[in-house]
Amino acid sequence: MELRHLFTFITVVEVGGFTRAANKLGYAQSSITAQIQALETELERPLFDRLGKKTVLTAAGQRLLPYAQEITKMHNLAIDAIRSETALSGTLTIGAPESLAAFRLPDIIREYKKRYPDVKIVLKPGVCWELHDLIRTGELDLAFLLQPETEVRDLHLETLVQEKMALIAPPDHPLVSYKHVEPENLKDETILHTEPGCTYRALFEQHLNSHGIFSNPDLEFWSVEAIKNCVMSGLGLSFLGLSFLPLITVQKEVREGKLTLLAWDDRPQRLATQIAYHKKKWLSPALGEFLLLVEQHAAGWRQEEFLPALYS
């Protein structure tokens, strides 16, 4: 039983004849006749009696009518639910490292939830390689990644913004007076690290190692906020995040004079915030609207002005 046949059947009933139905639907009258005959053949019952110039429902047609109306009504509701922005629903599962979850995503999620309150958002933390795997297994709809710009065969990756990195110290640290901090200057310093296996930490350690500096993981933390608090208390200096973090994560503390940025060349370890999803992923309306909102916010990120000239 085809939907278009049911729509035609209802139209014939509403307008009171085949010719009028053909005019309303833009079909030839022969097409209307063929569609009704197809329904009658399938149901093995006549649906209309032709009484002179009048077309009236048979008993079978009267029984079919409420079902046809309900079927076509549900069809229209289904289309409206998919197409209507205000009716978006479902669940989006998003992965992100702590730094992006705390400093890039809140404004996006807040605005999205205001627009689409019926969409549930689940945020899962993780390091980049874990998030790659979760995308592949379908456990994530998309992920925000902080990593060197890269391409992955089975993932769609889009760079949103280049992130500047920060080497931080308490304001009274001796290295604050240095015009430029070199890797060898960190040889005897206490360095606070984030968890092993993270992109930031690996890149920082690789950079130090390339200059013959092999630092021991004196202190390791799973929290960016814990690292900042320890640096502010004078326990040591640190790259925020995975041995360092984006400059956005320390802007507030630098402005308040609680942290100082050291004159460090961050270029060998620069990272990008990227968004990723599987190349075979179906972009649902809810996900499509989220991606559009991300791009709008990313355009603003690319215009951000950061504090110190030494990180320009």
pLDDT tens for each residue of 268-277:
677 899 999 9
Q: Tokens 């990227």, residue? A: 274
pLDDT digits (tens, 9 = 90+) for 293-302: 999 999 999 8
- Here the tokens at position 64 are 């079919």
- Average predicted confidence (pLDDT) for the chain: 85
Identify the CATH class of 3-83: mainly alpha
Query: Where in the chain do CATH 1.10.10.10 domains reside?
Result: 3-83
Nearest CA to 190 out of 206, 174, 207, 211 is that of 174
What kind and span of H or E run contains 80? helix 59-83
Query: Where in the chain do CATH 3.40.190.10 domains reside?
Result: 88-163+272-311, 165-269
Mean pLDDT of 68-81: 83
Q: Does domain 88-163+272-311 have CATH number 3.40.190.10?
A: yes
Nearest CA to 15 out of 38, 59, 48 is that of 48
Q: Which of 15-19, 48-52, 92-96 has the highest mean pLDDT?
A: 92-96
pLDDT at 242: 37
Query: 43-52: buried (b, 16+ CB within 10 Å) or exposed (e) per residue?
Result: eeebbbeeee
* E-state strands within the chain: 48-51, 54-57, 90-96, 119-125, 142-147, 155-163, 165-169, 191-194, 219-221, 237-239, 245-246, 260-261, 271-278
- 170 and 231 Cβ atoms separated by less than 8 Å: yes
Measure the CA–CA gap between 266 and 283, rounded to whole angstroms: 36
The percent of residues above 90 in pLDDT, for the chain, comes to: 45
- Provide the whole-model pTM: 0.66
Identify the CATH class of 165-269: alpha beta
The whole-angstrom distance between residue 119's C-alpha and the CA centroid of its chain comes to 12
- 173 and 237 Cβ atoms separated by less than 8 Å: yes
pLDDT at 240: 41
pLDDT at 85 over 60: no
